[in-house]
Amino acid sequence: MKHCFFAVDLGATSGRTVVGSLDGGELKTEEINRFPNRLIEVQGHYYWDIYELYRQIVEGLKAAGARHIGIASIGIDTWGVDFVCVGKDGHFLRQPYAYRDPQTVGAPQEFFGRIPADRVYELTGLQVMNFNSLFQLDTLRRNGDSALAAADKILFMPDALAYMLTGEMVTEYTIASTAQLVNARTRRLESEMLTAVGLTEGNFGRFVYPGERAGVLSKEVQRQTGLGTVPVIAVAGHDTASAVAAVPARSNDFAYLSSGTWSLMGIETQEPVINSETRALNFTNEGGVEGTIRLLKNICGMWLLERCRAGWGECAYPELIAGAQAATPFRSIINPDAAAFANPANMEEAIRQYCKDSAQPVPETREQTVRCIFDSLALRYREVFDNLRRLTPRPLSALHVIGGGSRNDLLNQFTANATGVTVYAGPSEATAMGNIMLQAIAAGDAPDVAHMRQVINRSAPPAAFEPKDGAQWNEAYSRYLKVLETYTPKGN
């Protein structure tokens, strides 16, 4: 009997539910519903509407039930670091803060006053980002936050949604590994970090790894959806971990670029890579599937363009990409990861100001702005890719671009040109596919991740982009490095 698996895939700007099954050695998927995931701004703070996300998940389950789709299991993946405070009565104490909330600006420095940065990195292997859960929790503690003070449990976003569906509390390894609360070597919660923010292991749900069962749908959800006691599987709860599991690679000599709101570039390793060089480069060691570590770097990805589009009335991507292709190359170059671009009120104006302050031509049209973003992202990818080559003894002969950004052929070609290696683009639905395939492994429909990757390669063959115009891109890269070396924009 063919099993159908239900994947909940939530990103920082949108979410969707997808059903998938293995059929004739291929993975077949179908989207059930798609919905926005909007930040809520209240009195200077940013929150996620977890109840609306839950409602949309239930709507997707209802639609699947109405169609009599025999769902074998459910898996949930989301973005990292954010969490919900749960009271002793089992109720959420407030909407969860979003990682873009400004309250954690400067938080790492506050924390390192008590535990040195090198000690934190030695234990957790995680890059310093002000919104890591460790720093969020420490900020809430220092601010006397009432929800944290009353919290009995801390649940990361996919685990909180699984709890709403099942009534069972778990802490899934890959999502917890984004928090800077997990020991990179033991792959368990690190007591020294927990103690520093006034927590213990008892403040978290049962610790589970990808493929373990979290629970089954509660009677309430069964009644609402018309479904039975469907198990909820703790897949790789971090969306990047699910996406990387779905990289359709035929060998191990590759790097990956999970391209979406964030771009995450890295490699898979069997053990964490924690040394002075990885710390200086701010590389992170996050949990992967089947005992792997994802050595990677967070890069500000399509956030730049998404925020510009929000001010332009949601212009269609094909129109913007075509305009960028016709625009003059390398007219203006920015550092996509500059602090000025973290969450400005007006992204287009922030880019203009950066260019003005760095004595470069200021983008005057949308086409020039988009070209600036694409050129700069590709050059940033080159920088991180070169660093990865230094950090691994094995050759990196290809870069696999997965996620929604893999549909951008222009940026894929620029990335190949900048890095000098073949770029394989797709699948764009890697996260949902990885989610589904981990459920399939848990159900016994697939033996392991290596087999899974071959299935995905057959189901969604990636497009290849060969590098071109090497001399031109090398010259542009030299300009990019000069911008980074000689100029610190206002606000950094």
Nearest-angstrom CA–CA distance, 491 and 345: 13
Phi, psi for 124 (deg, rounded to 5): -100, -25
For residue 143, the tally of other CB atoms under 10 A from its CB is: 10
Nearest-angstrom CA–CA distance, 289 and 238: 11
Residue 123: enclosing H or E segment and its boundaries? helix 117-124
Q: How far is residue 292 CA from its own chain's centroid?
A: 17
Q: Nearest CA to 227 among 19, 436, 47?
A: 19
Of 101, 159, 239, 337, the catalytic one is 239
Task: State whether residue 5 is helix, strand or coil.
Answer: strand
Nearest-angstrom CA–CA distance, 295 and 292: 9
Strand pairing report for 182-183 and 212-216: unpaired
Contact (Cβ atoms closer than 8 angstroms) between residue 255 and residue 396: yes
In 178-295, which residue ranges form alpha helices assigned H by DSSP?
A: 191-196, 219-225, 239-245, 276-280
Phi, psi for 23 (deg, rounded to 5): -145, 110
Nearest-angstrom CA–CA distance, 10 and 79: 7
In 206-295, which residue ranges form alpha helices assigned H by DSSP?
A: 219-225, 239-245, 276-280
Nearest-angstrom CA–CA distance, 329 and 306: 21
Tell me the C-alpha to C-alpha distance, in Å, between residue 318 and each of 367, 404, 405, 417: 12, 14, 13, 21
Tell me the C-alpha to C-alpha distance, in Å, between residue 413 and each of 109, 462, 472: 39, 14, 14
- Reading the block at residue 277, the tokens are 């060089």
Strand partners, 172: 208
Beta strand residue intervals within 24-152, DSSP E? 26-36, 39-42, 45-48, 71-77, 83-86
Q: Nearest CA to 439 among 222, 107, 162, 52?
A: 162
Phi, psi for 80 (deg, rounded to 5): -95, 180
Tell me the C-alpha to C-alpha distance, in Å, between residue 457 and each of 258, 427, 438, 462: 16, 9, 16, 7
Let me know if 239 is a catalytic residue.
yes
Contact (Cβ atoms closer than 8 angstroms) between residue 10 and residue 78: yes
Residues annotated as catalytic are 239
